[in-house]
């Protein structure tokens, strides 16, 4: 009879677990770190001949992002090249950023480009 009681108890616990709300995701006060972690995870999943192509458009200007630097939790500095192959930088609040991220194949005979993701040292 004890085995039946244990089985009933386990079944009841399983049902209660299933109907409870799932645990909340850990909250973070650093949206920039979340953004860099997401881009880093996408980049890590790429094959050797693939690269992330990240674009930022601001008005009529569009740059291909090559580096994202977070001097603080709320501010991002994006460095890239524009349509004329001129280096451009954008300083923006992280909350205002909208980035278009695509996966592309590297040019034949060249190494795939990796986006440089830079976080400040935690001691600052």
pLDDT tens for 63-84 read: 999 999 999 888 999 999 999 9
Q: Is the pLDDT of residue 56 over 90?
A: yes
Distances (CA, A) of 55 to 22, 68, 82, 99: 35, 12, 10, 6
Instruction: Answer yes or no: is 76 within a domain.
Output: yes
pLDDT band at 50 (very low <50, low <70, confident <90, very high): very high
Output the pTM of the full model.
Answer: 0.71
pLDDT band at 124 (very low <50, low <70, confident <90, very high): very low
Query: Can you give the pLDDT at residue 54?
Result: 95
Query: Domain residues for 59?
Result: 50-119
Instruction: Answer yes or no: is 24 within a domain.
Output: no
> What domain count does the chain have?
1
Instruction: Answer yes or no: is 39 within a domain.
Output: no
């Amino acid at each position: 009879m004890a085995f039946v009681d244990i089985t009933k108890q386990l079944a009841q616990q399983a049902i209660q677990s299933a109907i409870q709300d799932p645990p909340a995701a850990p909250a973070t006060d650093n949206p920039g770190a979340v953004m860099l972690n997401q881009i880093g995870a996408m980049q890590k999943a790429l094959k050797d001949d693939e690269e992330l192509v990240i674009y930022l458009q601001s008005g009529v200007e569009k740059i291909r992002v090559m580096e994202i630097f977070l001097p603080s939790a709320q501010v991002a500095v994006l460095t890239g090249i524009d349509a004329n192959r001129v280096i451009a930088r954008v300083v923006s609040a992280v909350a205002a950023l909208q980035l278009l991220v695509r996966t592309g194949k590297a040019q034949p005979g060249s190494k795939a480009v990796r986006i440089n993701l830079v976080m400040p040292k935690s001691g600052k």
